Homo-oligomer: A and B are copies of this chain.
Amino acid sequence: MMDRSPKSAYTLMTPGPVPVPPDVLNTLAEPMEHHRTPEFRAVFQRVMARLKDVFATGQNVFMHTSTGSGGMESALVNVLSPGDEVLAVVSGKFGERWAEMAEAYGARVHRLEIEWGHSVRPEQIERGLRERPGTRIVLTQACETSTGALHPIREIAAVTRSSEALLLVDGITALGAMPLPMDEWGVDALVGGSQKAFMLPTGLAFVAFSARAWERVERARCPRFYFDIRAERDANSNGETLFSSNVPLIKALDVVLERFARQGMDAVHARIARLALATRAAARELGLRGFAPQPSPSLSALALPSSVDGQALRSEMEKTYRVTVMGGQDRLKGKIVRIGHMGDIRDEDELTMIDALGRALMACGPAPSLDEHRLGAALDAASAVLAGRA
Tell whether A328 is near chain B: CB-to-CB under 8 Å.
Answer: no
Measured in the bound complex, the distance between the Cα atoms of B101 and A69 in whole Å is 21
Which stretch (A240-248, A266-274, A275-283) binds chain B? A240-248
Chain A: interface size category: 35 or more
Tell whether, in the assembled complex, residue A203 and residue B25 are in contact, meaning their CB atoms are under 8 Å apart: no
Within the complex, what minimum Cβ distance (angstroms) separates A223 from chain B?
5
Tell whether A106 is near chain B: CB-to-CB under 8 Å.
Answer: yes
Tell whether, in the assembled complex, residue B29 and residue A28 are in contact, meaning their CB atoms are under 8 Å apart: yes
Q: A226-B70, A246-B202 are in contact. Are A32 and B20 (CB under 8 A)?
A: yes
* Residues of A1-20 contacting chain B, CB below 8 A: 4, 6-10, 12, 14, 16-20
Measured in the bound complex, the distance between the Cα atoms of B202 and A267 in whole Å is 32
Who on chain B is nearest to A193 by CB? B244
For A100, the chain B residues whose CB sits under 8 A away are: 225
Which stretch (A47-55, A60-68, A367-375) binds chain B? A60-68
Contact with B along A227-271 (1 / 0, CB 8 A): 110000000000000011111110000000000000000000000
Tell whether, in the assembled complex, residue B224 and residue A104 are in contact, meaning their CB atoms are under 8 Å apart: yes
Known: A65-B70, A68-B243, A104-B225. 10 other contacts (CB 8 A): A9-B39, A12-B32, A14-B34, A19-B31, A19-B32, A37-B318, A65-B65, A66-B226, A201-B247, A202-B247
Measured in the bound complex, the distance between the Cα atoms of B249 and A105 in whole Å is 30
Q: By DSSP majority rule, is chain A's interface helix, strand, loop, or mixed?
A: loop
Measured in the bound complex, the distance between the Cα atoms of B248 and A100 in whole Å is 29
Tell whether A35 is near chain B: CB-to-CB under 8 Å.
Answer: yes
Tell whether, in the assembled complex, residue B19 and residue A202 are in contact, meaning their CB atoms are under 8 Å apart: no
Tell whether A30 is near chain B: CB-to-CB under 8 Å.
Answer: yes
Tell whether A73 is near chain B: CB-to-CB under 8 Å.
Answer: yes
Tell whether, in the assembled complex, residue A31 and residue B4 are in contact, meaning their CB atoms are under 8 Å apart: yes
For A227, the chain B residues whose CB sits under 8 A away are: 226
Tell whether A210 is near chain B: CB-to-CB under 8 Å.
Answer: no
